[in-house]
Structure 1
Amino acid sequence: MSYCRAIESMSAERKALHKAYHDKLYGFPIHDDNELFCRLVLEINQAGLSWETILKKEAGFRNAYDNFDLKTVAAYTDADRERLLADAGIIRNRLKINAAIDNANTILRLSNEHGSFENWLDLHHPKPKEEWVKLFKKTFRFTGGEIVNEFLMSIGYLPGAHTDDCAVYSNVLDAKPKWAHDKP
């Protein structure tokens, strides 16, 4: 069942939480490297959990990770790692926390080499999911197939965030750059 359809059958409280993400963020392009990093961290933290858990903890993540400021997170020390492990407002998993910090450093390096993380993504677009997964596994930490798929779908680089009968679908298409309409 698509995310669009799943929301329809949720309780009012759950529907409000998911609909805000679905209608305004899911599948829409992101042009800010800090926000791209945010989405990657959230997708990594979702592994093994429900997306609803992550949506409920998003504010906690933003607070704990200094609003996903890449330079700040990349400079985190062992004391910051311990602080994050003790923070009940996020997912307290050492591997995921270490991946976030390491991936912040990787994104900064890619930004320095390509002008931005978004430019690096654009440089590799379009690719089928399997090639994206190989590239991400080679480049980032804690990025398996499902994480890469959801991350790239959620930022509009892979199709599938919305079905063509979803009310938000045309808004997503309108938000994408013209070159993205012709590519998988």
Structure 2
Amino acid sequence: MNRCGWVNQDPLYIDYHDREWGVPVYDDTLLFEYLNLEGAQAGLSWYTILKKRENYRIAFDHFDPNIIISYDEKKIEELLQNEGIVRNKLKVNAVITNAKAFLKVKEEFGSFSKYIWSFVGGKPIINHFRDLSEVPVTTNISDRLSKDLKKRGFKFVGSTICYAFMQATGMVNDHVESCICKHNRHDKNT
């Protein structure tokens, strides 16, 4: 079976590619999780973060922004000692900052999903790349998204991170044409 060239042989990675990557996400909490995990990936591989995702969910109270905004220095120190996540103070603090910004966006737009999906007109962009080398790392849309998120106070949301987020959450479908998952996408709103 043909898959996108970035997938390794680990069943965890194969499952992520086959069941999650590129499937549209509209659930606010799941979008918040993805945004922060993509930020945690900065300078690392997605595979590294994927292996730590369950640890992140536990450490960050299942990415509930209402809980995260109340994290104090003691909680931050606890997170920085947690070997199950990337122990980078800037990245840990970014999750707290992002939770505050996320709640403001949710208040302004009614949902984070409505806000984030407005950048692609409310529906996935379906690309038709034949080879992995054709897939961009940024686009004009990810540039605009990054700029707007930064203006709203989000951290670790550069254009490359934003494009990876868009791919992961199905805002764009970048499965190559020969991939078994190209035309088999379903919404993941769990």
Q: Shorter-chain TM-score category?
A: 0.7 to 0.9
Matched, 1:70 2:83: no
- Post-superposition Cα deviations, 1:38-57, rounded to whole Å, max 9, x if no partner, equal 11111011111111111111
Deviation at residue 175 of structure 1 after TM alignment: 3.9
Q: State whether structure 2 residue 151 is matched by structure 1 residue 138.
A: yes
Partner residue, 2:90: 95
Indicate the larger mover: 29-38 or 98-107.
Answer: 29-38
* Structure 1: distance between partners of 2:53 and 2:119: 28
TM-score, normalised on structure 2? Answer: 0.81
- 1:157 aligns to 2:171 (yes or no): yes
Give the equivalent residue in structure 2 for 1:5: 5
Shift of 1:146: 1.2
5+ long unaligned stretches in structure 2: 122-139
Q: Deviations over 1:105-133 (max 9, x none)?
A: 11111111111100111333346232222
Among 83, 99, 114, the residue aligned to 2:109:
114
What are the residue-to-residue correspondences of 1:40-79 with 2, within 5 Å? 40-79=35-74
- Between the two proteins, the alignment pairs up a number of residues equal to 167
- Superposition deviation, residue 104 in structure 1: 0.8
| Per-residue CA distance 1:5-40 (angstroms, 9 max, x = gap) | 232xx34xx2x1211111111111112211111111
Two-structure CA RMSD over aligned residues (Å): 1.8
CA distance in 1, matches of 2:59, 2:187: 30
- The structure showing larger relative contact order (alpha-carbon pairs under 8 Å, at least 6 residues apart) is 2
SS in 1 for 2:35: helix
Q: Match of 1:138, as an amino acid? A: K
Higher alpha-carbon deviation: 37-46 or 123-132? 123-132
CA apart distance, 1:81: 0.9
Report if the CA contact (8 A) 2:119-2:141 is conserved: no
* Aligned sequence identity (%): 38
Per-residue Cα deviation, 1:141-175 (whole angstroms, up to 9, x for no partner): 12112111101111122342x11221111122x54
Normalising by structure 1, report the TM-score: 0.83
Q: Aligned partners of 2:67, 2:60: CA distance in 1, in Å?
A: 8
Instruction: Return the alpha-carbon distance in structure 2 between the equivalents of residues 175 and 169 of structure 1.
Output: 14
Partner Cα distance (1:86, 1:75) in 2: 19
Instruction: Point out where structure 1 has 5 or more consecutive residues left out of the alignment.
Output: 177-184
